[in-house]
Amino acid sequence: MGRDVLVPLDKLFVGEANVRKVHHEEGLIELAALIEAQGLLQRLSVVAHPEGRFAVVAGGRRLRAMQILVANGRWQASQPIECKLYDEDQAVQVSLAENSGRESMHPADQMEAFKRLIDEGLTAAQVAGRFGVSPLTVERRLKLARLAPRFLDLYRADEIEPEQLQALALIDEHAAQEAVWDGLSVYDRSAWRIRSVITSEACCADSRLARFVGLDHYEAKGGTVRRDLFSSADDLSGIFLDNPELLQTLAMEKLRGMAASIKEEGWSWVECSLDTDTTAFRGYGRVDMEQREPSAEEAQVIEALSAEQRACADAYDRHQDEGDPDANDFDRVEQELAEALEAVDRKLEEVNEDRWHWGAERLAIAGAILRIDTRGGVLVERGLVRPEDRKAENQAGSMDDEGQPRDEASSPTRVKAEFSEKLMRDLTSHRTAAIQAALVQNPRVALVTLVHRMAETVFGLYGSGDDIVKVSLRLMGDSALAQEASEYSESPAATVLGVAEAEWDDRLPGTPAALFQWLLAQSHETLLELLAYCTARSINAVASRPRGRNHSDALVEALGVDMADWWLPTKRRYLDSVSKSKALEAVKEAIGGEPAQATIGMKKGDLVAYCAAKLEGTRWLPSPLRAANPDDEDPAGATRDASEE
């Protein structure tokens, strides 16, 4: 057995008999802080060496932590250390015994221990100082320690991941935490899914409205936020605003304040919009700025600059024609003449630019719209003419052959939508994802799609409905699709697109310059494959209302997309969003015959479960996902854009 001794710290060193040869530096600072605060709770095991030195055979990590205290001036090098002295022939056995069977403290136990210290009166800063961690680390562990005890038990049993705990910690109430967990399928409890459910009604601080309003202003007006302690301090995506209605109100107030100054420019009207969908603005006309006649002073400046421009151009031409290219100063003179010509060109452009303005007649019939862009900036679109004002300019368009108003009954009428706007966007988001996924797998059609879109733009061959290929390029990625399409992450299209995204992320260089050089070296096939992916990610066929045939139908036909391969009529994707009669109608269409007598009087939940079972494997599709009739270019019952009404 060993005997207790006190040994000066500077007489200790790690001995050869210490069986632990792999050393990790992680946590040494924390261990040093713990030893400073609590003292050495476990003696070092040592054997004597010549010259009064002692070799540590068990406790090398504690020794290195204490040496850090000495290096930082917190302890003296001669600090006496409690040790257990063993004979030389016991060294390896002692070292092996102490290092064997040692189990690290489970994080859940540490979380609860921190919580006990806080409950006993210590502050987070005090706990942090005693255990060598940051106050933020203490706050994060306390946040997890305050979860419902059930989740800490699951953590100890290795039945829940730390990321899932962090997501649940966005909720303070235990009952609400358990409701979220129990409300998800066993196979649908990823951290991302939990976070999505919890924040579905909240708005991210990284959103365009939040950036525009400003987080400080939102909170000053009484808006509440939830901060994810486990995200970095500068990551706005980890802050959630719980009052989206207040945020929209504040955004509109700020936008209207800006609109007042725009109205002072003389426009007949100024509108503000928080909508990102510009479809409603397609019916607006546009007037251009006009160039006024120059004032007498401006005319003199223009005349002088024009003369200077001609002189500079003549001098440059003479130098090119008559100069000696072999002269030492030829290039220098050429550069100076070119710069002089460019300078006078810029001055002339600036003078002429100042003459462009909105004339009184155009201001009287046009207006401006203020919108918020994707990064929270303000876009002002001036010179717009409302559809009704355009019609007022062309009364003949609303009169019959005898000059009388046309009978309104003969005009196309809006029919009641078969599906809700939310469900329409859900279904058509799945359809958009399927088209994208199919394009990824068919580079030739992707190439045709891109060339077609470019050609119709260049040659002015635009047709209604053809703009579903957003080659500007406006990305229609997974996050946008997931916001609209229920259960998107489990869909086949999400899998295809996710694999493609991961593969290209691995292959492509990380900077624009490097990417261009990389592309130059690639084969035609590789370029086509990348073109297919990028073109696919521009597709946006999401619709809020029933539509006539458009270019997305042509794409579906060219790609051979059958939505039954990409979408299933599950409870969440369809049946929860329609009436009982609509759900039974789907079953009738899918399997034929009238629904069973037992369905009469069923509660909605039971009926949905019944219909889901009947529809399984039938490949039934609701009308927005079915193949369009090629002859149906614009069905009479289709709801038209506001611009067409």
Tell me what pLDDT residue 476 has.
Answer: 79
Residues 270-301 pLDDT 10s: 988 887 656 556 678 888 888 888 888 888 99
Half-sphere exposure of 422 (CA within 13 A, CB side): 8
Going by C-alpha positions, the residue among 507, 511, 491 that lies closest to residue 435 is 491
CB atoms within 10 A of CB 627: 12
At residue 150 the predicted structure's pLDDT band, cuts being 50, 70 and 90, is very high
Q: Which residues of 519-534 are buried (b: 16+ CB within 10 A; e: fewer)?
A: eeeeeeeeeebbbbbb
**Is 597 or 54 the better-scoring residue by pLDDT?**
54
Parse the chain into domains and list their residue ranges: 3-99, 290-357, 421-567+621-625
Nearest-angstrom CA–CA distance, 255 and 9: 68
Q: Residue 92 pLDDT more than 80?
A: no
Label residues 491-513 b or e (16+ Cβ within 10 Å = b): bebbebbeebeeeeeeeeeeeee
Q: Is the pLDDT of residue 103 over 80?
A: no
CB 283 within 8 A of CB 305: no
Whether the predicted pLDDT of 638 surpasses 50 = no
- Residue 460 reports pLDDT greater than 60: no
7-34 pLDDT per residue, tens: 999 989 988 877 566 566 667 887 888 8
The pLDDT confidence band at residue 536, using thresholds 50, 70 and 90, is: confident
pTM for the model stands at 0.42
What share of the chain in percent tops pLDDT 90? 13
* Predicted pLDDT at 36: 84
What's residue 170's pLDDT? 86
Cα angle: 592, vertex 594, 595; to 5 degrees: 105
d(CA 518, CA 464): 37
Res 151 pLDDT > 90: yes
426 phi/psi in degrees, rounded to 5: -60, -55
Residue 80 has what pLDDT? 92
Q: How far is CA 568 from CA 80, 423, 562, 625, in A?
A: 73, 14, 12, 11
pLDDT at 147 > cutoff 90? yes
**Average predicted confidence (pLDDT) for the chain:** 80
Please report, rounded to a whole number, the percentage of residues in the chain having pLDDT higher than 70: 82
Residue 221 has pLDDT above 60, yes or no: yes
Sign of the alpha-carbon torsion through 484, 486, 487, 491: negative
CB of 569 closer than 8 Å to CB of 586: yes
Q: How confident is the model at residue 455 (pLDDT cuts 50, 70, 90)?
A: low
Structure tokens at 592: 């034929």
State the Cα–Cα distance between residues 383 and 364, nearest whole angstrom: 10
**CB-based contacts of 244, cutoff 8 Å, min separation 6:** 201, 202, 203
Q: What does the pLDDT average to over 64-78?
A: 90
* Ramachandran angles phi, psi of 54, nearest 5°: -135, 135
The mean pLDDT of 563-576, rounded to a whole number, is 90
pLDDT score of 268: 92
Predicted confidence (pLDDT) at residue 472 exceeds the cutoff of 60: no
Q: Report whether 6 contacts 80 (CB < 8 A).
A: yes
Highest mean pLDDT range out of 83-92, 208-217, 432-441?
A: 208-217
Q: What Cα–Cα distance (Å) separates residue 630 from each residue in 199, 460, 556?
A: 42, 24, 11
3-class SS string, 22-57: CCCCCCHHHHHHHHHHHCCCCCEEEEECHHHCEEEE
407-454 pLDDT, tens per residue?
443 334 444 567 777 788 888 888 888 888 888 888 877 876 766 655
Give the least confident one: 89-93, 320-324, 439-443.
Answer: 89-93
| Cβ–Cβ < 8 Å for 174, 168 | no
Among 251-265, 490-504, 535-549, name the one with the lowest average pLDDT. 535-549
Long-range pairs for 228-231: beta carbons < 8 A, 24 or more residues apart:
228/166, 228/170, 229/136, 229/139, 229/140, 229/143, 229/169, 230/140, 230/166, 230/169
- pLDDT score recorded for residue 459: 42
**Closest of 110, 117, 229 to residue 168, by C-alpha:** 229
Q: Which fold has domain 3-99?
A: 3.90.1530
325-343 pLDDT, tens digit each: 778 888 888 889 888 988 9
451 three-state secondary structure:
helix
Average pLDDT over residues 312-325: 86
pLDDT over 70 at 396, yes or no: no
pLDDT at 520 over 80: no
Q: What is the pLDDT of residue 514?
A: 73
State the DSSP string of 465-528: TGGGB-TTT----HHHHHHHSTTGGGSHHHHHHHHHHHHHHHHS-SSHHHHHHHHHTS-HHHHH
Question: Given this model, what pLDDT does residue 619 score?
Answer: 92
Section 226-247 average pLDDT: 79
pLDDT at 104: 59
Question: Is it the case that residue 521 has pLDDT exceeding 70?
Answer: yes
DSSP three-state, residue 567: coil
Is it the case that residue 163 has pLDDT exceeding 60? yes
* Residue in 279, 348, 142, 335 with CA at minimum distance from that of residue 641: 279
Could you tell me the two tokens for 55? 């070799």
Token couple for 250: 């504040």
